[in-house]
Amino acid sequence: MALTLDGMIGDSSVLAEVFRVLAKVAPTNSTVLVTGESGTGKELLVRALHQNSVRRNNAFIPINCGAIPRELLESELFGHEKGAFTHAIRSRPGRFELADGGAIFLDEIGEMELSLQVKILRALQEKEIERVGGTSIKKIDVRVVAATNLDLEEEVSAGRFREDLFYRLNVIPMHLPPLRDRGADILLLANHFLYGQCTTKDRAQLTLSENAREMLLTYSWPGNVRELENFMERLSILCDGNEILPEDLPEKIFRDIGEKPLTKEVEVQPMRPAGFSWPTLKDMADKTLHLKDFLEAIEGRLIEEALERAGGVKNKAAELVGIKRTTLIEKLKKRNLL
Ligand SMILES: Nc1ncnc2c1ncn2[C@@H]1O[C@H](COP(=O)(O)OP(=O)(O)OP(=O)(O)O)[C@@H](O)[C@H]1O
Ligand SMILES: [Mg+2]
Numbered ranges of CATH 1.10.10 in the chain? 291-334
Residues 260, 21: Cα–Cα separation, whole Å: 42
Q: Are 303 and 331 in contact (CB under 8 A)?
A: yes
**Phi then psi dihedrals of residue 212, to 5 deg:** -65, -40
**Low-confidence winner among 51-55, 131-135, 167-171, 269-273 (lowest mean pLDDT):** 269-273
How high is the pLDDT of residue 11? Answer: 92
CATH code at 13-177: 3.40.50.300
Core vs surface per residue 266-304: b (16+ CB within 10 A) or e: eeeeeeeeeeeeeeeeebbeebebeeebbebbeebeebb
Q: Is the CB of 177 under 6 A from ligand 1?
A: no
From the CB of 7, is ligand 1 less than 6 Å away? yes
Top-level class of domain 180-277: mainly alpha
Residue 206 Cα to ligand 2 middle (Å): 28
- Our answer on whether the CB atom of 3 is closer than 6 Å to any ligand 1 atom is no
pLDDT at 269: 44
> Which amino acid, one-letter code, is at 136?
S
94 lines ligand 1 (CB under 6 A): no
Ligand 1, from 225, 229, 232, 288: best to mutate by most atoms within 8 Å of Cβ?
Answer: 225
Provide CB contacts within 8 A for 139, sequence distance 6+.
127, 128
Task: Indicate the residue type of 114.
Answer: L
> How far apart are the CA of 180 and the centre of ligand 1, in A?
14
DSSP 161-219: S-HHHHHHHTTEEEEPPPGGGSTTHHHHHHHHHHHHHHHHHT-PPPEE-HHHHHHHHHS
Nearest ligand (C-alpha, residue 37) = 1
Range in 20-24, 38-42, 251-255 the model is least confident about: 251-255
| pLDDT surpasses 80 at 230 | yes
| Atom number in ligand 1 closest to CA 34 | 21
CATH topology of domain 291-334: Arc Repressor Mutant, subunit A (1.10.10)
Cβ within 8 Å of residue 46, ≥6 positions away: 32, 34, 62, 105, 107, 145, 147
The closest-lying atom of ligand 1 relative to the alpha carbon of residue 15 is 1
Each residue's pLDDT tens digit, 270-305: 444 555 677 888 888 877 788 888 888 889 889 988
Q: How confident is the model at residue 26 (pLDDT cuts 50, 70, 90)?
A: very high
Residue 130's identity, in one-letter code, is E
- Number of neighbours of residue 148 by Cβ within 10 angstroms: 23
Q: Does ligand 1 lie within 6 Å of residue 223's CB atom? A: no
Work out the percent of the chain whose per-residue pLDDT is above 70: 95
264 CB-near residues (< 8 Å, 6+ apart): 247
Is there a contact between 100 and 140 (Cβ–Cβ < 8 Å)?
Answer: yes
What number does the ligand 1 atom closest to the CA of 36 have?
21
Q: For residue 21, count other CB atoms closer than 10 A to its CB.
A: 15
Share the mean pLDDT of the chain.
Answer: 90
Whole-number pLDDT of residue 99: 98
Per-residue confidence band for 260, with pLDDT thresholds at 50, 70 and 90:
confident
Distance CA 33, CA 170 (A): 5
pLDDT in tens, 79-96: 999 988 888 889 999 999
Rounded Cα distance, 28 and 49, in Å: 10
pLDDT (0 to 100) of residue 70:
85
Check whether 266 has a pLDDT greater than 50.
no
User: pLDDT value at position 264?
Assistant: 52
pLDDT at 338 (0 to 100): 74
CA distance 262 to 249: 9
CA end-to-end span of the chain, whole Å? 30
Residue 122 to residue 129: CA distance in whole angstroms: 8
What pLDDT shows up at residue 258? Answer: 84
Helix axes 114-126 and 70-78, enclosed angle (nearest 10):
10
* Residue 198 near residue 204, CB atoms below 8 Å: yes
Evaluate: CB of 110 within 6 angstroms of ligand 1: no
pLDDT higher than threshold 80 for residue 114 = yes
Distance 223 CA to ligand 1 centre (A): 10
Say how many Å lie between the CA of residue 246 and the centre of ligand 2.
Answer: 30
- For ligand 1, the distance from its centroid to the CA atom of residue 51, given in whole angstroms, is 16
CA of residue 254 to ligand 2 center, whole Å:
27
Q: How far is the CA of 226 from the centre of ligand 1 (A)?
A: 6
Which range among 27-31, 37-41, 124-128, 310-314 shows the weakest confidence by mean pLDDT? 310-314
pLDDT score, position 312: 85
Comma-separated ranges of CATH 3.40.50.300 domains in the chain: 13-177
CA-nearest residue, atom 5 of ligand 1: 8
Give percent above pLDDT 90 in the chain.
Answer: 70
Domain with CATH 1.10.8.60 in the chain: 180-277
pLDDT, average across residues 96-100: 97
Residue 149 CA: nearest ligand 1 atom is 25
